[in-house]
Amino acid sequence: MGRLDHKVAIITGAASGMGRETAIRFAGEGAAVVVADLNQEGGEVTVRACKENGGAAVFQKADVSAEADIKALVARAAAEYGRLDITFNNAGFVGALGPLEEITAENWDRTHAVLLRGVFFGIKHSIPAMRTGGGGSIISTASIAGMRGGFGPLVYSAAKAGVISLTQCAAVELGKDKIRVNCICPGGIHTPIGGSMTSRGEEVLAQSQPIRRAGQPEDIANMALFLASDESAWITGASMVVDGGFMARAQSFGPRTGEEWRRQLGFMGPSFRLR
């Protein structure tokens, strides 16, 4: 018996990294998964991996910053599987980089549209389906960057702080509907989004926290599985830190100022567009 038997999940940003690993894990635990991403090629790879792991899955191309796309995702879950029990708002990118005074309004808006507005849409449009089904679990990817200054680019960090606050506020409002709302705050995870996929990048991450290895997508998938399952039935409004002990030491890593971030890139979009 799987931990997610008979449950239906939507996972955004599921074409790679943490989203892909979580989709495969959910499928292996009995869930039917709607794999959502802009990257259709990667999304189809995830669907095949879900099926190979014994679960059901379909792909839906979606831009999380577009409300119509999120509504269509929920409709797809209902059409394919008849219900919605889990939404994992995971899609993201790094976004605007540079000193605060040089960040453009356009890049601020582009970053928040994906990282914060996309989470808002995911929560908003999951509510009716979950309420009809008697409850559900909404999970969003925040970050330790949203918990303290200097742990990430400025705009990214501000958006992730918004995800943490939105999670808490939504949890309070939706508790009466038996809809739980939590977020995961990863530390340094070895995925394409942060440009850490080189051996050097992994080595830097490994030295950044008390547990001397880089975080892996499965570390986040493990937490997402717990929050999606009935094992976390009395947990809502929580920001679950998964960081190898980084926050316990509270020492920043990598570039910390706007100028240092700008030396890397002015804007970092989806990883599959960086090739």
Task: Look at residues 231, 228, 238, 239 and name the one whose alpha carbon lies nearest to residue 126.
Answer: 228
Query: Active site includes 81?
Result: no
Instruction: With a cut of 60, say whether residue 174 has pLDDT above it.
Output: yes
Q: Report which residue type is found at 194.
A: G
In angstroms, rounded to a whole number, what is the distance separating the alpha carbons of residues 74 and 99?
A: 38
The pair of three-digit structure tokens given for residue 159, joined into one six-digit string: 């958006």
Full 3-state SS string of the chain:
CCCCCCCEEEEECCCCHHHHHHHHHHHHCCCEEEEEECCHHHHHHHHHHHHHCCCEEEEEECCCCCHHHHHHHHHHHHHHHCCCCEEEECCCCCEECCCHHHCCHHHHHHHHHHHHHHHHHHHHHHHHHHHHCCCEEEEEECCHHHCCCCCCCHHHHHHHHHHHHHHHHHHHHHHHHCEEEEEEEECCECCHHHCCCCHHHHHHHHCCCCCCCCECHHHHHHHHHHHHCHHHCCCCCCEEEECCCHHHHCCCCCCCCHHHHHCCCCEECCHHHCC
Q: Are 223 and 212 in contact (CB under 8 A)?
A: no
Share of the chain above pLDDT 90, in %: 80
**Which residue type, as a one-letter code, is found at position 266?**
G
For 253, counting Cβ atoms within 10 Å of its Cβ (0-12 exposed, 13-18 middle, 19+ buried), the class is middle
Question: Residue 274 above 80 pLDDT?
Answer: no
Give me the chain's average pLDDT, please.
Answer: 92
Placement of tokens 């409004």 in the chain = 237
pLDDT band at 208 (very low <50, low <70, confident <90, very high): confident
pLDDT of residue 192 exceeding 80, the answer is no
- The yes-or-no verdict on residue 189 having pLDDT over 80 is yes
Give the residue with greater pLDDT, 272 vs 53.
53
Instruction: Give the start-to-end residue ranges of the domains of the chain.
Output: 8-268
Please tell me which residue in 59, 121, 156, 267 is annotated as part of the active site: 156
- Does residue 197 surpass a pLDDT of 80? no
pLDDT value of residue 275: 46
Taking residues 135-147, what's their average pLDDT?
98
Task: Write the CATH number of the domain with boundaries 8-268.
Answer: 3.40.50.720
Q: Judge whether residue 151 has pLDDT over 50.
A: yes
Pick the residue with more confidence: 201 or 2? 2
**Orientation angle between helical segments 217-228 and 17-28, nearest 10 degrees:** 50
The answer to whether residues 11 and 36 touch, using CB atoms and an 8 Å cutoff, is yes
Single-letter residue type at 187: G
Q: Cα–Cα–Cα angle for 129, 82, 21, nearest 5°? A: 85
| Contact indicator for 261, 255 with CB cutoff of 8 Å | yes
Q: What is the pLDDT of residues 213-254, one digit of tens each?
A: 889 999 999 999 999 999 999 999 999 999 999 999 865 555
What average pLDDT does range 164-175 have in this prediction? 98
Identify the residue whose tokens are 């809502």: 236
pLDDT band at 159 (very low <50, low <70, confident <90, very high): very high
CA 49 vs CA 20, 28, 34, 89, 223: distances in Å? 9, 10, 13, 20, 20
pLDDT band at 89 (very low <50, low <70, confident <90, very high): very high
